[in-house]
């Protein structure tokens, strides 16, 4: 059964939104900040079972992609593309899967879930695989490497 109307109203309210509360902070329980653009926050997930697993989170509280004007939509996807190039440069996956869901966290964000040589391509995607947590030193090193790569890449839309 889907959420009740009251549950969904509470979940979709900006005032109670967990992503609005902590998508911009340097570190939180789930992730750490790689970069911020005019449109998005880019974060590395703490669960690194799929090395390079990151999220691009719209800065504004918008529940569904269908609500975005074309320019903002283009900037959001440009940020996703730049994040993918960064992950590709640092983690060298075979493929990156892009997941936009939001039925539990209805604030527009895209999961970038890298698939590596050890992953079975016939298995269904599960963002909760693992979890695998790096040592604090290794996680900080991953953030630093991604930040260096982020800065080295030109913004796709010239921002
Ligand atoms: Zn929000």
- Taking a 5 Å cut-off on Cβ, the residues next to ion ligand 1 are 17, 19-20, 61, 107
The answer to whether 60 touches 36, Cβ cutoff 8 Å, is no
| Residue 159 pLDDT | 54
Q: In the predicted model, what is the mean pLDDT of residues 17-35? A: 97
| Residue 157 pLDDT | 60
CA of 94 to the centre of ligand 1 (A): 32
CA of 116 to the centre of ligand 1 (A): 31
CA of 101 to the centre of ligand 1 (A): 14
Confidence of residue 35 (pLDDT cuts 50, 70, 90): very high
CA of 88 to the centre of ligand 1 (A): 28
The answer to whether 34 touches 146, Cβ cutoff 8 Å, is yes
Q: Which domains does the chain have, with CATH numbers?
A: 5-119+129-152 (3.30.428.10)
**CB-side exposure of 113: number of CA atoms within 13 Å?**
19
CA of 20 to the centre of ligand 1 (A): 4
Mean pLDDT of the chain, nearest integer: 96
| Residue 3 pLDDT | 98
- With a cut of 60, say whether residue 132 has pLDDT above it: yes
CA of 18 to the centre of ligand 1 (A): 6
CA of 121 to the centre of ligand 1 (A): 32
Nearest-CA neighbor of 60 among 10, 11, 17, 20? 20
Model confidence, pTM = 0.96
CA of 105 to the centre of ligand 1 (A): 8
Measured between alpha carbons, how far is 114 from 123 in angstroms, rounded to an integer? 14
Strands across the sheet containing 95-99: 31-36, 40-45, 54-58, 109-115, 95-99
Q: For the purposes of burial, counting CB atoms within 10 Å of the CB of 75, is it exposed (0-12), middle (13-18) or buried (19 or more)? A: buried
């Amino acid at each position: 059964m889907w959420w009740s109307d009251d549950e969904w109203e509470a979940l979709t309210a900006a005032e109670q939104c967990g992503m609005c509360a902590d998508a911009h902070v340097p570190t939180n329980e789930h992730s750490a900040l790689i970069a911020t653009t005019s449109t998005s926050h880019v974060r590395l997930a703490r669960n690194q079972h799929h090395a390079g697993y990151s999220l691009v989170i719209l800065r504004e509280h918008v529940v569904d992609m269908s609500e975005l004007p074309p320019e903002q939509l283009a900037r959001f996807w440009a940020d996703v593309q730049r994040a993918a190039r960064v992950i590709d440069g640092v983690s060298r996956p075979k493929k990156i899967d892009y997941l936009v869901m939001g039925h539990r966290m209805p604030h527009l964000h895209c999961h970038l879930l890298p698939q590596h040589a050890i992953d079975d391509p016939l298995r269904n995607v599960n963002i909760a695989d693992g979890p695998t947590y790096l040592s604090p030193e290794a996680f900080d090193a991953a953030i630093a490497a991604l930040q260096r790569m982020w800065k080295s890449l030109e913004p796709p839309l010239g921002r």
